[in-house]
Amino acid sequence: MGKTDWLEYDVEEIVKGDKDCLWHHMKPHSVFESQEQMVIVAGDGIEVTDIRGRTFIDVTSGGVWSIMVGYGRESIAKAVYDQLVKMPYFAGTYGNIPAIKFAQKLLEKLPSMGKVYFSNSGSEANEKAFKLVRQASRIVPERAGKYKILFRDRDYHGTTLGAMSASGQIQRKRDYGPLLEGFIEFPHCCCYRCPFAKVYPGCNIECAHAIEDVITREGADTIGGLIVEPVTAGGGIIPPVKEYFPIVEAICKKHAIWLIMDEVVCGFGRTGRFWGHEQYGVDPDIVTMAKGLASSYEPLSATVVKQYIYDHFLGDATDEEKRLNYFRDISTYGGCTGPMAAALESTRIIEDENLVENSKIVGAYLFEKLCELKGLPLVGDVRGVGLFVGIEFVRDKTTKEPVSDAEMATIMGNLFAEGVIAGRTNSSFDGLNNVMNFAPSLIITKEQVDHVVAAVRRSIEKGI
C-alpha cells in the first residue's frame, strides 16, 4: 500500500465500514440501522462534499465552530509538514520552537497575561484551570480553603468529569454521576428567557448580581474560581448585555475569586473581536482556548494565566514543605509541534486577511438578515454577536412555548435539504433544544450569507 492509497476509496466499502466500525460522537446510533450516516470527504472554503458527491454550505465551521479560516488551506498543511519532518514531538517538560513562538503570539494578543500552558482539547484546558484553583487552595496561604468553582446555567465547559461538573447543561450530565463536589451553579443571562422575569434595560442586571447571593450562601472563603463563556455557545447562543461582565468581574475581585474566561468557542475572532471578553472590557485571571486556536487543522488548546497565578506554582526544591508546590500536571500531546505550526499559520491568516474585521462586518449583516425572519411563524428570538448567531424557535410567540425536539429536527432537515449544514442546541436541556445556530468560518461573504438566509427562510416556510 502506498503512502496515500487510502485517499482512493470504494464508496460502498466506506459506507459499510462507517456503520460497522465507527462510533460517532453525540449521536443515537439506532437511527443508523435504517439510514446512512453522512461521510464528509472534502472541504473548500466554507463548503464540504460528502461521499455521495453532494456539496453543502457549512455554517458550523466543521460542526463545532472551529474551522476559523475555512477548508483547504494548503499553507497550514505545509507548515505542519515542514515542522513534522524536522521535529514532531517532545514532551512539554522541555521547550520547542513553535510552542515558544506561539506562546509569544498569544501573550501579544493577551498582553496582561503571563504564561501559556498547552494541551490538546478545550476540556483539558478547563481542567487545568480547575486544578490550579484547587491546588492554590492547598498551597497558597491567603487562598486556603477556596476550592469551590462557580459556573453558569446553560454554559458548557467540556466533556471530562471535571468539566461536566462545571456544565450548566443538564442533559449533557445525565447518567454520568456522581460528578465532582464543589462546583456550584448560578443563573443564566438569557434576556429572552430571563430567570428573574425582568425586561432589559428596565432591570438591575439581576442575573449578574445573583452571583453575590450564591457567594453568600456558599461562603466567599470557600470559592476560588468562577468560569463563564463570553457568549454562551451550545446553551443557545446567549450574548450577555453590556453591563453584565463588568459586574461579574467586580464581584470576583471583591471576593478574591479567579475569573476564568472560557474562550474555547469565542476566541480567535468568532464574535468580531479577537477575544469574546474584549466585547465587554474585562480582564480575566485565566483564559482557556481551543477550537479556533489552530483552526482545527490540528488539535490544540491552551490555558493562559496571569503572572501572579504562575508565581504561586514555582515550587522550592530546598524547602521540604514547598517541594511539591509546582503544577504537577502533564499533557502528552501538549508537546506535539505540528499543532503549534498550524496555529501560527492559522493566526497569520486571520491577521493578514483581516478576518476578525470580516467577522464583525459580515456578522452584523448576518444578524440583520436573520432578524428579517422574525415576522415568520416559529421565529421567537434572534440573538448573537459577530459570526455567532442563533434563532430560537417557538410554537407560540406570546407564551414562548418552544418547539419540540422532533419539530426542531424537521426544521433542521428542511435546511439540510436546501444544501446548508447549520447547528442546533442538542442534548442540552429538557424542552429547550430549540435554537438553530450559525457560526461559519470567518471568511464567509455577504453573498454567501444571502444564500444561507434565503435557504433558512424556505426551511421555516415549509413548516413543521
Q: Are residues 86 and 217 in the same domain?
A: yes
Structural domain count of the chain: 2
| Domain CATH number, residue 156 | 3.40.640.10
End residue of a domain, out of 306, 323, 352: 352
This prediction has a pTM of 0.96
Query: Do 175 and 256 share a structural domain?
Result: yes
Report which secondary-structure segment, H or E, holds 211: helix 206-218
Residues 158 and 306 placed together within one structural domain of the fold:
yes
**Among 352, 367, 383, where does a domain finish?**
352
**382 in the same domain as 244:** no
Domain boundary residue, one of 337, 352, 367 = 352
Judgement on whether residues 225 and 337 belong to the same structural domain of the protein: yes
Helix (H, G, I), strand (E, B) or coil at 94: coil
Three-state DSSP state, 86 = helix
129 and 209 assigned to the same domain: yes
Regarding whether 272 and 309 lie in a shared domain, the answer is: yes
Do 321 and 362 reside in the same domain of the chain? no
The three grid cell numbers given for residue 134, joined into one nine-digit string: 484547587
Q: Are 276 and 231 in contact (CB under 8 A)?
A: yes
- Check whether residue 424 and residue 317 sit in a common domain: no
What single string gives the DSSP state of each residue in 344-404? Answer: HHHHHHHHHTTHHHHHHHHHHHHHHHHHGGGGSTTEEEEEESSS-EEEEEEEETTTTEEPP
Cα dist from 355 to 211, 266, 292, 302, whole Å: 35, 14, 12, 21
Beta strand 148-152 with 183-186: parallel, antiparallel or unpaired?
parallel
Q: What is the pLDDT along the chain (464 residues), one digit of tens a residue?
A: 345 566 788 999 999 998 989 999 988 888 777 788 899 999 999 999 999 999 999 999 999 999 999 999 999 999 999 999 999 999 999 999 999 999 999 999 999 999 999 999 999 999 999 999 999 999 999 999 999 999 999 999 999 999 999 999 988 889 999 999 999 999 999 999 999 999 999 999 999 999 999 999 999 999 999 999 999 999 999 999 999 999 999 999 999 999 999 999 999 999 999 999 999 999 999 999 999 999 999 999 999 999 999 999 999 889 888 899 999 999 999 999 999 999 999 999 999 999 999 999 999 999 999 999 999 999 999 999 999 999 999 999 999 999 999 999 999 999 999 999 999 997 777 778 999 999 999 999 999 999 999 999 999 999 88
**What pLDDT score does 34 carry?**
78
CATH number at residue 389: 3.90.1150.10
State the amino acid at position 129 in one-letter form. Answer: A
Q: What is the span of the domain harbouring residue 45?
A: 5-67+355-461
CA-wise closest residue to 229 among 126, 113, 128: 126
107/15 same-domain check? no
Indicate if 365 and 343 belong to the same structural domain: no
At 427 the pLDDT is 74
Contact predicate 385/271, CB 8 Å: yes
Q: How far apart are the C-alpha atoms of 435 and 424, rounded to whole Å?
A: 5
Pair (159, 215) in one structural domain: yes
